Structure 1
Amino acid sequence: MAKPVLLKALSGLLPPTHYNRIIFASVCHNGIEYSTLPNRPESHEEFEATVKNVVEKDIKDNSVMIYMKGVPDIPRCGFSSLAVRVLKLYDVPFGARNILENPEIKNAVKSVSNWPTFPQIFIKGEFIGGSGELKEKLKDVAVTAKKEE
């Protein structure tokens, strides 16, 4: 049904040898693309590796990186809110990424840290844990700094 219309539309645009390949590869009808190409599971692995690279770059580029539910100005869970408040209390500059916007990022972070819950906090490239661990770590740093004064 769509084949004659598509052939007519493509007439003169491509050499005849390409007609069948295009028609049978994918057809767009009412804005929806239908494809006869087989699934390529390996393409999902390639995408995951790219997302994992984003996570690794975040961790490398930020002294403190937090993967949280929500954004620093509007956290979407109590633990993420606590982590942000603690970082701001100690005037610690940090990078943040909202895991609710992208489930692939969430899964990639879990694969890097081997930790199931969020927020997940990295300091100088090292995973330290969640908001409770962050609170203890910064408290220890503050106590050590006071002792050195």
Structure 2
Amino acid sequence: MGMGVDFCALFLGIHGEVGVDRSHERAREIEPRAESSSIQQFRNYSPGLGGDSRGSGDSSSTRVAADPDTHQDFQPTSKSSNMSFDDIVAQDIKENPVLIYMKGFPESPMCGFSALAVKVLKLYDVPISARDILGDLKLKECVKAHTNWPTFPQIFIKGEFVGGSDIILDMHQKGQLKDVLGDIAQKHEQKESS
């Protein structure tokens, strides 16, 4: 398919395996093991089930978006780290073989393009790390500056910026994504079986 890809049709399941509707699948409780999780949002998630493992002892917090009209004293802050956003982005890219900066989270994307990217990546059973860029405008701007790419989602594989959902979909349709993700999937399978 060329530039005229109907993303809505793909997402709704009208076209090919990418749009397979699995909403009928029942979510189940998952064991709190990071190794078995193939989606990491810096919390544990199970592939294809859409549920998080908050019962695993992970802390839960309310995210408040930074508002440029709010005085700096009242802006949300992260007390867990003194890292700059540039350092956080660099560390995310370095430490996560498959990383997606997206609107929302894999189990609850906030836009169709983010949902499409997650669906395509899930086909390969690789561990996916994700950050919600809607939760922090500074992080969003930092990621855009890092890649010089204006839109989201932004996907990194093995430390390299790949692009957005359209590029991932195109790579999938051409069989290129299987080659790129093959060794990551293999390592993930070996880790789960041991």
Matched residue, 1:17: none
* Structure 2 stretches lacking a partner, 5+ long: 1-72, 74-82, 183-194
Measure how far apart 1:121 and its partner are. 0.4
C-alpha contact 2:168 2:177 (8 A) present in aligned 1 = no
| Rg (Cα) greater in structure | 1
The match for 1:84 among 95, 118, 139 is 118
Secondary structure at the residue paired with 1:67?
A: strand
Matched residue, 2:178: 142
Matched residue, 2:34: none
Give the partner amino acid of 2:130.
A
The match for 1:95 among 126, 129, 133 is 129
Distance change in 2, residues 1:50/1:89 (3 Å): same
- Normalized per residue, the structure richer in strand is 1
Measure how far apart 1:136 and its partner are. 2.4
TM-score, length of structure 2 as denominator length: 0.47
Q: How does 1:1-149 map to 2 (within 5 A)?
A: 50-138=84-172, 139-142=175-178
Measure how far apart 1:90 and its partner are. 1.5
C-alpha contact 1:87 1:93 (8 A) present in aligned 2 = no
Give the partner amino acid of 1:55.
V
How many corresponding residue pairs? 99
- Normalized per residue, the structure richer in helix is 1
Q: Answer with 108-117 or 131-140: which moved more.
A: 131-140
C-alpha contact 2:105 2:132 (8 A) present in aligned 1 = yes
Measure how far apart 1:89 and its partner are. 1.3
Measure how far apart 1:143 and its partner are. 7.2
* 1-structure distance, mates of 2:94, 2:168: 18
Identity over aligned pairs, percent: 54
TM-score, length of structure 1 as denominator length: 0.61
* 1-structure distance, mates of 2:169, 2:98: 13
Any runs of at least 4 consecutive aligned residues in structure 1 with deviations exceeding 6 A, and if so which?
none
Give the partner amino acid of 1:112.
H
* 2-structure distance, mates of 1:108, 1:142: 29
Measure how far apart 1:81 and its partner are. 0.1
Give the partner amino acid of 1:110.
K
* Structure 1 stretches lacking a partner, 5+ long: 1-34, 36-48
